[in-house]
């Protein structure tokens, strides 16, 4: 999945983001940068930018395409009972995380776990209150980052070694969550 930028449009005001024929409203100054995540594959994304009474409609040139060989990679990982990914915690509960230590994000058939050595930061079974999605900002690491809220009051932004690992982790977790508890993992803004 390739980041899309729309440099010819100026930002301020209200932006409406269309996805699956449903509108999601984003207020305020928003940057013109879109980082697709696995839910976006196969969709044409459209943004209506309203600024100073003028409206500009911007769409992707075609459906979002999957990353090369991602499906094969995910199929191989599905053969295991769990998969581990090296991550760095960028934020914890909305605050920048000062340590840049490498942690392990374990995506299992029954739960997700984040640990560093013997210390477990979070471990939760898949549930309807859990949130997981790709980070959609224009930060340098956004294409490699995901937002994970294992439970109310605890959230992380995790940065992976590669965009491929981030997307594979999202796809695995969503499949396992659905298979385990018929839970659809999404982010706070996603409507599924």
Q: What is the 3-state secondary structure (H, E, C) of the chain?
A: CCCEECCCCCCCCEEEEEECCEEEEECCCCCCEECCCHHHECCCCEEEEEECCEEEEEECCCCECCCCCHHHHHHHHHCCCEEEEEEEEEEECCEECCCCCEEEEEEECCEEEEEECCEEEEEEECCCCCEEEECCCCCCCHHHEEEEEEECCEEEEEEECCHHHHHHHHHHHHHHHHHHHCCCCCCCCCCC
**Mean pLDDT over residues 113-130, rounded?**
95
What is the average pLDDT score of the chain?
Answer: 78
CATH number of this structure's domain 70-181, picked from the four choices 3.40.50.10490, 2.30.29.140, 3.40.50.1000, 2.60.40.290: 2.30.29.140
Domain ranges of the chain: 4-59, 70-181
pLDDT tens column, 173-184: 999 999 988 888
- Find the mean pLDDT for residues 17-32: 45
The answer to whether residue 41 scores a pLDDT higher than 80 is: no
Higher pLDDT, 21 or 192: 192
Please check the confidence at residue 135 and state whether its pLDDT lies above 70: yes
How does pLDDT run across 57-92, given as a tens digit for each residue?
Answer: 877 777 766 666 788 888 899 999 999 999 999 999
In this predicted structure, what is the pLDDT of residue 74? 87
Contact 104, 85 (CB under 8 A): yes
């Amino acid at each position: 999945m390739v980041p899309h930028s729309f440099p010819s449009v100026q930002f301020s005001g209200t932006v409406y983001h269309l996805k699956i024929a449903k509108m999601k409203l984003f207020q305020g100054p928003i940057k013109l940068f879109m980082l697709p995540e696995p839910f976006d594959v196969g969709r044409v994304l459209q943004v209506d930018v309203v600024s100073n009474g003028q409206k500009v409609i911007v769409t992707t040139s075609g459906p979002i395409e999957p990353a090369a060989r991602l499906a094969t990679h995910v199929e191989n990982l599905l053969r295991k009972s769990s998969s581990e990914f090296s991550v760095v915690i960028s934020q914890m509960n909305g605050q920048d995380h000062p340590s840049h230590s490498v942690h392990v994000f374990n995506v299992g058939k029954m739960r997700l776990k984040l640990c560093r050595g013997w210390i477990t930061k979070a471990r939760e079974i898949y549930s309807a209150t859990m949130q997981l999605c790709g980070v959609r900002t224009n930060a340098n690491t956004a294409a490699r980052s995901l937002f994970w809220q294992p439970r109310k009051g605890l959230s992380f932004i995790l940065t992976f070694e590669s965009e491929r690992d981030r997307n594979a982790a999202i796809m695995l977790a969503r499949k396992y969550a659905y298979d385990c508890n018929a839970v659809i993992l999404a982010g706070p803004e996603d409507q599924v």
